Amino acid sequence: MTPLSQFVRSAVRPGVRALSAVPKPAATKSDSNHPNGYSFELNETQLEFRDIARKFVQEEVIPKAAEYDRTMEYPWEIVKKAWSLGLMNGHIPEHCGGLNLSVFDGCLIAEEVAYGCSGIMTALEGSGLAQAPVILAGNKEQQKKYLGRLLEEPLVAAYCVTEPGAGSDVNGVRMRAEKKGDEYILNGQKMWITNGGVANWYFVLARTNPDPKAPANKAFTGFIVERDTPGLTPGRKVSKFWGEEGDTWRFWLIMFMPPQEINMGQRCSDTRGITFEDVRVPKENVLLQEGQGFKIAMGAFDKTRPPVASGATGLAQRCLDEATKYALERKTFGVPIVSHQAVAFMLADMAIGIETARLAWMRAAWEVDQGRKNTYYASIAKAHAGDVANKCAADAVQIFGGNGFNSEYPVEKLMRDAKIYQIYEGTAQIQRLIVSRAIIDKALGK
């Protein structure tokens, strides 16, 4: 164990546990002693966690991000180090041995990690998405078994809802779960599953009511499924034909003879399809009860969309920092390009977007940490931060000019990585649909 890891476990974690016992969030809280009644100050433990995450990103993530992007390897080395430092699995309850961090605290870490590489952040947060249904709806035995396992060694989990014909329309999920005795038999296919090929266990949403007219809040059931269950087969991301991890010639084979699935960005995130063929799941692995799966699956997003928004904010901040540095160094017409108002205003617009995106995820995280429903704020944060990340990435490439179009410079990767923030965990359009419905319902007094 490294000295830094020892410091985290001996100093930071006890402090976080002590704070978690207090029934209010530790940051962005209403403060009657403050002259304005509101404070955005972080406490000492949060500052320590942020600084540890920042140091980790500078030393471990940024130097290796480009290589992981080229090889498309899952970043196990970095995941293991993040696990040892307590930078993942932070939301797991104390009775399972976890830190019971607030959503706000997790967002602080996510923004720092995404600053270094949003693909690596997704690898870490994808496991958090799978944990959320178990934290929300799992019984003590399920939580201890499956959440506790993630604390014993560096393992990850996966959230399996999306299908080839069901993305934004979750009610279109066709995977069937048929009850036979004390088991459920699962058949179907999932698609675009983060951590799909590396997960130790999965949260799976399946249809238990065969009636196509059954309402969503009664038609689906949530299951915990072990990775080694017979009949469960992850799709291929990089075939064995392209060699084993570490083979020196593997990169060139991938470049000239591509494997089946290559994503535009966040390439080190393990994203693939999963087939379920007569997969037997014991009834003990049902979350809550039959028919409650839709509510559980959707409820998880209230806790996970703020970290996604904070990740998008971290990527946008990286774009601004890289663009500012380049604009100060690059000269045209005898002066640094930052002296040209056209460039300076682009930087200003990037900063405006980043600051408002950060405020949006802070509000969304704060609301849910207060024990209030935050769906409205979470959707605003996710939509806005995703759009800001894409705008900042495009502007950063523009400031870099021709160099920005080349993979030798970091903004090319940032632009590819940014796009998914407008797609996964609910598209930008779905977020606007959620927000607009909330506005209309409020106006109608619902």
Q: Which residues are catalytic?
A: 425
Decide: 122 and 69 in contact? Cβ < 8 Å: no
Question: Which residue shows structure tokens 């038999």?
Answer: 185
Decide: 72 and 237 in contact? Cβ < 8 Å: yes
> Between the CA of residue 349 and those of 342, 367, 414, 438, what are the distances in Å?
11, 27, 18, 28
Nearest-angstrom CA–CA distance, 230 and 77: 28
> Between the CA of residue 109 and those of 114, 309, 313, 392, what are the distances in Å?
9, 12, 12, 21
Residue whose C-alpha is closest to residue 394's, from 421, 425, 429: 421
Nearest-angstrom CA–CA distance, 127 and 159: 7
Question: Which residue shows structure tokens 């089946």?
Answer: 260
Nearest-angstrom CA–CA distance, 275 and 85: 34
> Between the CA of residue 214 and those of 187, 295, 350, 415, what are the distances in Å?
19, 14, 46, 41
CB within 8 Å of 21: residues ≥ 6 apart: none
Decide: 226 and 380 in contact? Cβ < 8 Å: no
- How large is the greatest C-alpha to C-alpha distance in the chain, in angstroms? 79
Chain centre to alpha carbon of residue 302: 12
DSSP strand pairing (201-207 vs 335-336):
unpaired
What tokens appear for 205 in the block? Answer: 């949403």
Q: Which residues of 140-176 are buried (b: 16+ CB within 10 A; e: fewer)?
A: eebbebbbeebbeebbbbbbbbbbeebbeebeebebb
